Structure 1
């Protein structure tokens, strides 16, 4: 029996489009067990309604095993806990892929290095910003150099907390990418490069007062905010209640506010504000996850 816990992730964090991500203390827990024949996938004790060919946990597991010529017969996969919502910009796809590849590696006797695991996961996912922090935890800058994934961890201020706001409506990655322009001006590129650089340095130096300017963006957020009902109002309220910065988590629809741990009234104030909106919002006040995927 293999028992894995995989963290949610938030990506982009404002200006770090497809390159900056952070693992969060919000988890899926997935168990794997080899059997003599057949494949069974369960979620919360009930058979999964997702077809096997569309199940990223299963397809990632099998693709990795077959790449290394591992002779498998059957599996039982049980999603015990699924706290990472689907299509909300919290890395649910990355978590499934990481679970499948890590489980395959354990079954094969842990023959893959961390970099090989990350590389295999990114080949399946298509980009590294959610994958890398899901595997190794923390806040990470990652990029693709041809087929090689290059990554580096960023220090996270110990007083930083993430207020996660998850609506009851989904936003697909395809829809969120579809609203983006094909070209950007030189000014917009400079704007984002400078903010992304400032975000990393402000984190490393624990300069929380610079996060608001450092999380501004002209590549994706202005276009995607129109797809998330009341996003502008929520960002405005967050700032009024003392948040350090706000941004869309991944491609949405989840919104994120960064706050100082000493801002003890923020959670209650924002919860009351969100209750008055038309959509239902689930919130979590959490810290960053520094471990990444864990074998339980």
Structure 2
């Protein structure tokens, strides 16, 4: 099986822990059942740092999926080409988790019936710890994710993005980590700010799916970005500068990548502002799109058959 799990952006503006989108930047995972053992080949992002054994997050996710699907295979061979920047707020860990689950169920007869998307989402969120990145990675498009208070299981609603979205990612050389970033958030926020944030989150759903002209006011946030400023000052300076130019911009996920929405498919306006405020951090500016496809498993011939 070959799976191409997409990068994702989550915590979009006021959509903290809820709103996410799949982006047109993909890792590639090839998984095959072999006679015995475990072989992991890595290339690209993190190839020099990631483990090549059972500790690899993709392997752990696949093992968990195989347990739900009826049992472990005789052996596994994995080949991973990582293109999603890691520890940058673009869902690289979610891509590994979802990629492992989707590849595993693709290798099992009737795997999609045994572990459908709802069950795969619940398992991915259980492994990842939250559903806002794994939902768009699995389902594609724009998603709203939540955890059911009765069952405790992650759920998601998927929506198609409006044609006028032109996302641009500004990826710094510095890394960020979700646990560190989350530790800066307060236990409570003022009621007025919570109410304002709820209104803008509702507006953001409309902007992402129907009226992109509303993106600037719709991406205003009160819940998380300013609290996280000490951990990524250059990123928040870039967000401020872009917004001052009328360009909707937010921190992607837990950062430090900045996600902007260009006014046209051309990115000259974003690149110009990024160059002004990058300071000591180097931002690589790349135009992407919202991917309507999530992680899909495709069967390929085995090496013996090729």
Taking structure 2 as the reference length, the TM-score comes to: 0.88
Deviations 1:137-188 (A, max 9, x none): 0011111113333322234221211110111111111100100001122112
Deviation at 1:53, TM superposition (A): 4.3
Which moved further from structure 2: 43-52 or 90-99?
A: 43-52
**Is 1:101 aligned to residue 101 of structure 2?**
yes
CA RMSD of aligned residues (A): 2.1
Give the direction of change, closer, same or farther, for the CA distance of 1:48–1:278 in structure 2 (3 Å limit).
closer
**Structure 1: distance between partners of 2:50 and 2:220:** 40
Of 188, 195, 200, the residue aligned with 1:190 is 195
Q: Which runs of 5+ in 1 are unaligned?
A: none
Give the direction of change, closer, same or farther, for the CA distance of 1:248–1:75 in structure 2 (3 Å limit).
same
**Is 1:219 aligned to residue 223 of structure 2?**
yes
Deviations 1:24-51 (A, max 9, x none): 0011001111121111111129787415
- The corresponding residue for 1:83 is 83
Deviations 1:183-204 (A, max 9, x none): 1221121011111011112333
Question: How many residues are matched?
Answer: 291
Task: Please list, as runs of the form range in 1=range in 2, the aligned pairs for 1:109-148 lying within 5 A after superposition.
Answer: 109=109, 110=111, 111-145=114-148, 146-148=151-153
Q: Which runs of 5+ in 2 are unaligned?
A: 299-306
Deviation at 1:268, TM superposition (A): 4.0
Deviation at 1:69, TM superposition (A): 3.0
Taking structure 1 as the reference length, the TM-score comes to: 0.91
Greater fraction strand:
1
Cα contact 2:252–2:259 (8 A) shared by 1:
yes
Deviations 1:107-129 (A, max 9, x none): 22223211111111111112111
Deviations 1:238-263 (A, max 9, x none): 235542x1111011111111122255
Task: Please list, as runs of the form range in 1=range in 2, the aligned pairs for 1:4-153 lying within 5 A after superposition.
Answer: 4-44=3-43, 49-50=50-51, 52-80=53-81, 82-109=82-109, 110=111, 111-145=114-148, 146-153=151-158
